[in-house]
Amino acid sequence: DSPEHVDAPKCHPNTRQAVLDEILNWIILTVTRIQWVLWLNGAAGAGKSAICRSVVDLCIQRNIPIVRFFFFRTDSTRNNVRPLVATLIHQLLQSMPDLEPIIVPRIKMDPLIFAKSLKTQFEYLIFGPLRELKRNSLHLHTLVFLFDGVDECDNKDQQADLIRIVADFVSSNSFPAIAFFASRNEAQIITAFRSPEVTNITVRLALDNHYLPDNDIRLFLNDSFKSIKTTHLFGHYLDDNWPAPAEVEEIVEKSSGQFIYASVVIKF
């Protein structure tokens, strides 16, 4: 819920429904789980971050515990892993208060923990406490880890490390948890998801024509143009048929399945 204007919005109403349904069905899976990781991949501007924000909302509405981090290339507070574990802990303590008497003493015992390796931070402050909580609790909801824009972390080795560290934990069954990653198809990330310990436990969703993005972009454009006609200062000068259906189709075609193109047109 960042106030930053550079952040992607949530999905436009009634768009991206097919992919959101598929993701949510994977999260609330009721049969025996064999895949603990989901990788949403697609080109820049395909709408990955908007989908991730909508997934967060859907989980919160259903009381599904979810901790998340949205990497962002041009924001120095979010283009690296330094604030990652502390941010996840903050969210964990809000959604799972029973973790506080486990995690807080660990931080007090080792005040320099946040300067240590990513793997050490995760193990000491997140994975270890979750295992301890499981030993003392009978009923636990599945925890969702969500990481958006993994390719926007400024260290490519750490991108791969993050995927492997979290995938190893969620697949261990030492605590009921699953992991959702969203990124572009970059070489180091593809390599990480192809590694033997990750590939067999991962569901891959590609934001391509399978999800009929043109239909969603057309709906977004029509709703947005209707709003412009209704609210714009000069809206009463516009013809009832503005914009012509052929003009809308031209924008849909030029968007090439990328929501960012249609969004820029509407903002202009």
CATH of the domain at 46: 3.40.50.300
- Do 32 and 138 belong to one domain? yes
- Do 220 and 119 belong to one domain? no
Domain membership flag for residue 9: no
Token pair in block for residue 65:
């515990």
Place of tokens 């948890």: 177
- Do 196 and 161 belong to one domain? yes
Domain membership flag for residue 8: no
Q: Which of 221, 212, 227, 261 is nearest to 17 (CA)?
A: 212
- Do 138 and 252 belong to one domain? no
- The number of distinct structural domains making up the chain is 2
- Do 142 and 261 belong to one domain? no
pTM reported for the whole predicted model: 0.83
- End-to-end CA separation in angstroms for the chain: 25
Measured at the CA of 149, the angle between CA 146 and CA 153, to 5 degrees, comes to: 110
Domain membership flag for residue 218: yes
Residue 205 · residue 247 · CB < 8 Å: no
Question: How high is the pLDDT of residue 146?
Answer: 98
Residue 133 · residue 140 · CB < 8 Å: yes
- Do 207 and 117 belong to one domain? yes
Structural domain including 119 reads 17-211
- Could you read off the pLDDT tens digit of each residue along the chain, which spans 268 residues? 666 655 556 666 666 788 899 999 999 987 788 999 999 998 887 789 989 999 999 999 999 999 999 999 999 999 999 999 999 999 999 999 999 999 999 999 999 999 999 999 999 999 999 999 999 887 889 999 999 999 999 999 999 999 999 999 999 999 999 999 999 999 999 999 999 999 999 999 998 766 678 888 999 999 999 999 999 898 888 888 899 999 999 999 999 888 889 989 999 9
- Do 233 and 152 belong to one domain? no
CA–CA dist 150, 48 (Å, integer): 11
Question: How high is the pLDDT of residue 14?
Answer: 65
Domain membership flag for residue 4: no
DSSP 124-176: IIIIHHHHHHHHT-S--PPEEEEEE-GGGSS-HHHHHHHHHHHHHHHTTTSSS
Domain membership flag for residue 140: yes
Measured between alpha carbons, how far is residue 91 from residues 2, 27, 86, 113 in Å? 14, 18, 9, 18
- Do 235 and 204 belong to one domain? no
- Do 86 and 135 belong to one domain? yes
Question: Which long-range contacts (C-beta less than 8 Å, at least 24 apart) are formed by 83-91?
Answer: 84/118, 84/162, 85/114, 85/118, 85/121, 85/122, 85/125, 85/126, 86/114, 88/126, 88/145, 89/125, 89/126, 91/66, 91/67
- Torsion sign across C-alpha atoms 186, 120, 201, 138: negative
- Do 171 and 53 belong to one domain? yes
Domain membership flag for residue 1: no
Q: Are strands 202-206 and 66-70 parallel, antiparallel or unpaired?
A: unpaired
- Do 21 and 146 belong to one domain? yes
